[in-house]
Chain A
Amino acid sequence: MSAGTANHVDGRALSARLGRIVGSKNVEVRPSALIPYQTDATFGFSGVPLAVVRPGSTEEVAEVLRWASANHVPVVPRGAGTSLAAGAVPIHGGIVLAVTRMNAILSIDPVDLTATVQPGVTTQTLAQAVAAHNLHYPPDPGSQRVSTLGGNVATNAGGLHGLKYGNTAGYVLGVQAVLADGQVIRAGGQLVKDVAGYDLVHLLTGSEGTLAVLTELTLALRPAPATSTTGLAYFSDLESASDAVRGVIAAGVLPATLEFLDARCIGAVEGYAKLGLDTRAGALLLFGDDGSPAEVERTVAIMAQAMRDHGAASVQVATVVAESEALLAARRCALPALSRLGGATMLEDVGVPRSRLPELVRRIDEIAARHDVVIATFGHAGDGNAHPTGCFDPREERQRERVAAAFADVFAAAIELGGTITGEHGVGAAKLPFLAAQLGAPHTALLARIKHAFDPEGILNPGKLGS
C-alpha cells in the first residue's frame, strides 16, 4: 500500500518536472500506459520504466539528460522499438526517451550527396524522400518501414543489401549528440574526408544509446541505380545453397542481393505473402543486382549460371521490377511470418566469413538436433550473416530453455569459425553475456572505460555494451 502510494506521488512529481521540459502531453507516468515501453521486439526481455518522454528538440533532450544526470535516473533512448537484441528494453528502469516526435528530414543535398535528418525519421521515409531526387539510401533493414534512422545508427543496422553496400555505418558522415550531462556535441559533417580527432562518428554508431543520445544525423547518399533485378534459385538443402554463394562470388560478381531461406522459412513466407514459392524445396536463394540495365543483365546471367553449376534445381529471374520488389518485401517478413510455426520466436544474428557459411549451416543443424529444438534459418548469405530462429511454444518453459541452450552453442560455433555473435542487430541486453567470449577480457574492459569516459554516472541505457 505505502509503496503504491509513494510511486503515485513520485510519478506525479516526475510528470510535472519532465512536463516542464517537453510539455505535459509528451510525458507519461501511469504504469498501465507504460506497458508498451517495457519491451521491444525481442522475446523474453522486459523492464519497468518510470516514465516515457517524447522530446521535440535537441534542447529538450539536453534538458532531460541534465535532469536525469543530476538525479541519477537511467535514460533509455528508443526509436520504434524494433530491436531484436533487447537494445531498447529499460532493464534497469528509468526514463524511456522516445525520439518519434523528432521526425523531420532537415535537408537533402544532391550535390554533397547527403541527407540530414532527425533521429525519429523512419528508414523507408528517408529512402523514399531521396528517391524523389533520384538518389539512393542503401541500408534497408528488414524492419525499414518501421525502424527509425536513430535506431539504425545506434545499432549499426544492416539489411538485405549488405554485401554490396555494407551496414549503416558506411553511410554515417556526421552526428549531433547529447552527452549524458546534457552537453551537445557535433562530430563529422557533410564531408567525405575528415580526420580531425578520434572518429567519434563511428564510435557513436553502434553504441546502442550507451554513450550519447543521437539528435541529428548526416547520412551519405548515392546516385540511384537505373534498375534492379531479382532472381530465385531452389536447392535441395541450405548447405548446397550456401555452397552456391561461394560459386557466385568466385565467378567475379558482387551482387546487391544474396539472401537464403530454408524450407521452414519458405513455407512461412509463402503462407503470408502468397507469391507462389515452391514450398517443397529444401532451400531458396534470392539473388539480384542493381545498376545500369546492361550491367545488371550481365551479372544476373552470371549468377544464374553459377546457381545452376552448383546444383540449383531451378532458377527463375523476375521480369519486372514490381516482381523483384515483391520478392524482397516477402523476404523481409521472414521473421514475423515464422511465428506461424509455433507462436514464439527467438532469433539470432551470427555471422561468419562467407567461405565458412556452409559449415555454419551444417553446425546449426547438428545443434538443433542435439537440443531437440526447431530452428529455421534465413539470412544474408552473401555477407555470411545468418538468422537461425528458434520456433517454440512460449508456454513451454522447457522448450524455451532448450532453445536458449542451443543458441549458446551456435554462438560458440560462430566464434570458432572466425565469426561474430551479431552481424547487424546489436548486442543489447540479450547478447551481452556472450560478448566477452568473442572480444576477450581486455577488449571488454576497454569498452567499460570508454563507457565511463562518456557517461561516468552510468545513466545511459545501463545494462548494454560497456554497461
Chain B
Amino acid sequence: MTAPGVFDPADLGTCISCGFCLPACPTYKLTGDEASSPRGRIALMRAIDADEVNVFDVAAREQGSFCLGCRACEPVCPSGVPYGRLIEQLRDAQWTGRRRPWRILPLLAFATSRKLIRAAGLLRRHAKRTRAADSDPGDTLMLGCFERALFPAVSKAAVATIPGLRVPADQGCCGALHAHNGDIARGEELARQLGERPGRIVSTAGGCAAHLAAVIGRDRVVDYSEALLEHGAAAGEILVDGRRARIGLQDSCHLRNGLGVAGAPRAVIEAIGEYVEVPGAGDCCGAAGTYAILRRADSRRVLANKISELARLDLDFLVVVNPGCQRQMIGAVRRARLRTRVLHLAELVALVRQ
C-alpha cells in the first residue's frame, strides 16, 4: 500500500519536536530509547507519511504495538498534538487483514456481536434493564461489553448509587476496542449507533467514555464519578477497624488524559474515607486495553513500579475506574499477596449505601 494518507496531515503537523512528552511516556521510561517515545514515534510517522519508511517496516510495526496508547503525552503537550488519534491511525494502517494480531480477533468478534455481548451479560447478571424511556431522555448507563462479562457487579452498583439512572435494553459495544486496535471506521460506527439514544450516557469505563466522547461529543458523555457528584457526594463513610478506610485510586489513562477527568473520582473518595494519593496514580497500569493480552511481559514491566508503592502504602481499598485497570490491578494485588481490596468506584460507593 502507499503510505501517504495514513495520517491526518493536520494532526501530524502539530508537533514541533520539543520533547516535553518524553518523561510522561511509560515506554520511554522503560527503555530510555527515543524511538519508543511519543516524539520518536511521531518522527517515524512523518517518515512513513513522506514514504521514506514502509508502514509495515519491522521497527515501525514494533513501535506501533509497543505504545500503550495511554495518551499520557497529551496533557503535557503545549502544542496540543492529538497523539491518541495518530497512534490509532498508525494501527489502522498496520493492523489490517492478516496482520491484525490473532489474539484479539475473538475479542473483536465478541464486541462486534450484540447478541453475544447481551448473552454474556445476562449470564453474568449485570444490572437489570429498566423499562423503556418515557418522554424524559435523562441519563442512561452504558453497559460496557467486557465489563458486563468480567465485572457485572459494577453496573449494578452504578444503578444502585445514582438515582434515576436508566439501563436501556439493547446495547452494543461503544467501539473503543475497535478504534484502539486498528479499525477506526468500525469503532466510530459503533459509537454513533450507541449515541442514537437520547440524553447523556453515563460510563463506568474511562476507555469507553473517552472514545465515545471523541465521536458523539463530550457533552453527551459523563463519567460515573461526575454523574455521582451532580447528586452530591456520597453520604456516609467506610470504616475499617473503627477508623476511616484508607483508599487509593488508580486513574484510568483515557479518563484522565482523554476525557480530562481526574478530580471527580478523588472528590468522591475523599467524602467516603481517608484518600491516599498513590505516587504515580496517573501513570498507566499496563492494562491498556488489549495490551495486557498482546504484550504481557511489557504490560507487567509497566505495572512493576506500582506494586512496590502499593505494598508500602498498605491501603484498605484501591479504587479503579475502568474494567481493564480493574482486571490488571486485581491480578497485581493477588500476585503480590497484598491485603488491599481492588474495587470499582461504583462498588465502593455502593458499600457505603449498604
Contact = CB atoms under 8 A, between A and B. Distances in A.
Nearest to B40: A36
A36 B19 contact: no
B170 interface: no
Nearest to B24: A145
A348 interface: no
A122 B29 CA distance: 12
B17 interface: yes
B16 A41 contact: yes
B79 A336 contact: yes
B57 to A, nearest CB: 5
B77 interface: yes
B81 to A, nearest CB: 9
B32 A103 contact: yes
A35 B45 CA distance: 10
Given A35-B47, A394-B13, A122 B23 contact: yes
Given A122-B23, A336-B79, A340-B79, A143 B18 contact: yes
Interface stretch (A25-33, A67-75, A256-264, A453-461): A25-33
Contact of A32 (B18, B34, B44, B78): B44
Contacts of B14: 339, 343
Interface string A321-359: 000000000000101110110011100000000000000
Interface in B8-35: 13-20, 22-23, 32-35
Given A32-B60, A37-B34, A143-B19, A337 B47 contact: no
A35 B43 contact: yes
Interface in A261-280: 272-273
A81 B78 contact: no
B37 A335 contact: no
Main secondary structure of the interface of B (DSSP, over half): loop
Contacts of A38: 43
B39 interface: yes
Contacts of A343: 13-14
B19 A32 contact: no
A336 B16 contact: yes
B214 interface: no
B26 to A, nearest CB: 15
B16 A145 contact: no
A228 interface: no
Contact of A272 (B32, B59, B80): B80
Interface of A: 28, 30, 32-41, 43, 52, 54, 80-82, 98, 100-101, 103, 120, 122, 124, 143, 145-146, 272-273, 333, 335-337, 339-340, 343-345, 394
Given A39-B17, A80-B22, A100-B32, 12 more contacts: A35-B53, A36-B40, A37-B35, A38-B43, A40-B19, A41-B16, A41-B19, A120-B32, A145-B20, A145-B76, A273-B78, A335-B78
